Amino acid sequence: MLKGKNIIVGICGGIAAYKTCDLVSKLSQAGAEVNVIMTKNACEFVTPLTFQTLSGRPVYTDMFKLLGKEEWQVEHVELAKKCDLLVIAPATANVIGKLAGGLADDPLTTTALCVKVPVLICPAMNTAMWGNKIVKDNVNKLKKFGFQFIGPGTGKLACGDTGAGRLEDIEKILAEITEKLGRK
């Protein structure tokens, strides 16, 4: 069902970034062409090399890294034109806030604001952050604009707290992706 589908996986800087390795691996094994975009903070948790190995494709981390190369294109625009779905997992409060405010200052946010396909946001953050009124307002604003959310899950978080804020189970995210792309 995912064979030949072009999926962008955006990864933000949170401890749950390591779980996205499994998602990228499973999407690639299912035949999807997976393009990974990492925020600078995400690179502090998992290296781009890990995702390049799992996806078999270059990983985008910098807006200007490809400048001066012969085959250079406006990468975020080209990626946006080709994709069938954009998944942001984990999505931090920071990136959710940037998107809600229309800010585009890195490869992930510029691409997310360029795509004309569904954007699936998978939040992961501390329970107190997830419950913060500003974050809730940003989530509601994005939902009004058509962004779709899955999660967060509930349970014990890396900080030791228990509650809502965990990255949703990878199998549930994968099932949602498969369902969305199966309808296309």
Tell me, rounded to whole angstroms, the distance of Cα 111 from its chain centroid.
11
| Annotated catalytic residue within 12, 83, 122, 159 | 159
Region of residue 165 (left: phi > 0; alpha: psi -120 to 50; beta: else): left
SS3 assignment, position 7: strand
Please answer whether residues 24 and 55 qualify as being in contact, where contact means their C-beta atoms are separated by less than 8 angstroms.
yes
Q: Which residue carries 């585009």 as its tokens?
A: 104
Please answer whether residues 148 and 120 qualify as being in contact, where contact means their C-beta atoms are separated by less than 8 angstroms.
yes
Active site includes 114?
A: no
Residues identified as active-site:
159
